[in-house]
A = this chain, B = another copy of it.
Amino acid sequence: MIAAAVAIKVQFYDLDPMQVVWHGSYVRFLEQARCALLDAIGYNYVEMKESGYLWPVVELHVKYVRAIQFGQEISVEARLAEYENRLRITYRITDAASGAVLTKATTTQVAVDGATSEMLFESPAVLREKVRRLLP
C-alpha cells in the first residue's frame, strides 16, 4: 500500500460560525495529504507539468463523521487506491491524540494531454512506472 500522512493543527480561518471546521476547508486538508502522497510517488504538480499531462480532479466525495474544533491536532492520511486508468486516492482524517476517525474522503483525477487537451482513458506510462517502482 502506498500512503502518506500530514499533521495539521486546525486554525481560526478553518472555522465557520458554528465554531467548527467549515465543510469546505476540508478540501485544503485533503489536498495537503494528496500532495504529500504525490511527493512520495515523485509525481507532484511540477513533475505532472513536466510530463506533459494535467490531472484535474473529476470527482470529490467527503463523509463528515465528527466535527473538528479550533486547535485540534489531526492526521490526514492519503492512500493510493487506483492508478492504472485514473488516479483514485482515499483519505482518512483522524484525531491525532485519540485516533478517532473524523472524516473519510475520496478524490478521482484523470490524465489530460497538455498538448491536445484530450482526456486519457489509461494513465500515461510516466505515472504507472513511478508507482510500480514503489510496489513490492
Contacts of A44 in B (CB 8 A): 71
How many monomers of this protein are in the complex? Answer: 4
Count residues on chain A whose CB falls below 8 Å from chain B CBs: 33
- Partner-contacting stretch, out of A11-19, A84-92, A93-101, A124-132: A11-19
Query: Known contacts A15-B17, A22-B13: does B67 contact A58 (CB below 8 Å)?
Result: no
Could you tell me if A61 and B58 are in contact, using CB atoms closer than 8 angstroms? no
CA A134 to CA B38, docked complex, whole Å: 43
Pairs across A and B, CB under 8 Å, 11 listed? A11-B28, A12-B16, A13-B22, A13-B28, A24-B31, A27-B27, A45-B70, A46-B70, A56-B67, A60-B60, A61-B61
